Amino acid sequence: MSETVLEVRDLVKHFPVRQGVPRRTVGVLKAVDGVSLELRAGETLGVVGESGCGKSTLARMLTAHERPTSGEVTVLGRSLLDLRGRELRRARRHIQLVFQDPYTSLDPRMTVAEAVREPYDVNPDLAPRRDRDRLARDLLEVVGLSPGHGDRYPHQLSGGQRQRVGIARALALRPRVLVCDEPVSALDVSVQAQIVNLLERLREEFGLAYVFIAHDLGVVQHLADRVAVMYLGKVVETGPEADVYGSAAHPYTQALLSAAPVPDPALRGTRQEIVLDGEPPSPVDPPAGCSFHPRCWKAVASCAERPPALEPVAHPRHVAACHLRT
């Protein structure tokens, strides 16, 4: 069995809601509310869910850009929450973040080569000063750009080229894990395919593991070995990609899959779309019991009374938090 490179246990992030003068705390926004995940070497874990379900907050906590309210994030056997200063910076080399917006994630005052070189300057023990420019331009070639792109500024590149720069910058520290926070959502469809193919190639070439966060279930299905479905800060279903896509157990997962585009024209119209009523509840005041029950067409009385636990569906690797899981 492959080595576990990332382990998340009961991760929670609550933000205080303040109003008035002085700013009094009047509530708590539960952005992430008890998430547990595991990632093995060379594996891709897809994380899907509606906007506002906590995916991006989870990504920032995994990479120690945001400190959790409680819980634990362990990378290569070391808890990030126990580290500070230089020790934390060294541990974060192993897990890097690829941002959603490839433009705002780059400094417009730095050339592309300077941006890719910067991780070596911040971590000088990784490479001698004389080698850093060469290593930066080598990384540009690895992600499909020419060394000449290194002399350009971000505004002189296309969206796809900027995302390649972001990936090259993340690779500079030789990480074991890349957390990709919707890395293709801001790109044209044809460019999305190029970036997805690049990520697949890099996974094989560098032995990377990915946490791949996306709205597009088709992209996740193409890349992921396992899938975690989030709703209102919680994981409601997780399992191997074939199980989640082929026999989804949670009604929310079923609704997401029913709304996903069908690439095969011959199969279009053969699947009934499930339209959910209303908007997701506020994470400041989530419903009692199962958080999905106000929108669930299968809900029964017990769904409003007690929250369901993640329990096996057909085998221990496929679990869902639903009283009516099938």
Question: Exposure of 301 by Cβ count < 10 A (0-12 exposed, 13-18 middle, 19+ buried)?
Answer: exposed
Domain range spanning residue 316?
Answer: 250-326
* 314 located within any domain: yes
Whole-number Å distance between alpha carbons of 310 and 231: 13
For position 264, what pLDDT does the model report?
Answer: 56
pLDDT at 122 over 70: yes
Encode 11-25: b = buried (16+ Cβ within 10 Å), e = exposed: bbbbbebeeeeeeee
* 210 located within any domain: no
Q: How are beta strands 70-75 and 78-79 bridged, if at all?
A: antiparallel
For position 263, what pLDDT does the model report?
Answer: 59
What's the total number of domains in the chain? 1
- Decide: pTM greater than 0.85: yes
Q: Which amino acid is at 153?
A: Y
* 267 located within any domain: yes
Instruction: State the sign of the Cα–Cα–Cα–Cα dihedral 278, 283, 285, 287.
Output: positive
Residue 313 near residue 249 (C-beta atoms within 8 A): yes
* 63 located within any domain: no
pLDDT at 12 over 70: yes
Q: What is the pLDDT of residues 171-195, one digit of tens each?
A: 999 999 999 999 988 788 888 889 9
* 97 located within any domain: no
Partner residues linked to 78 by β-bridges: 75
* 309 located within any domain: yes
SS3 275: coil
Backbone angles phi, psi at 159, to 5 degrees: -60, -45
For position 266, what pLDDT does the model report?
Answer: 57
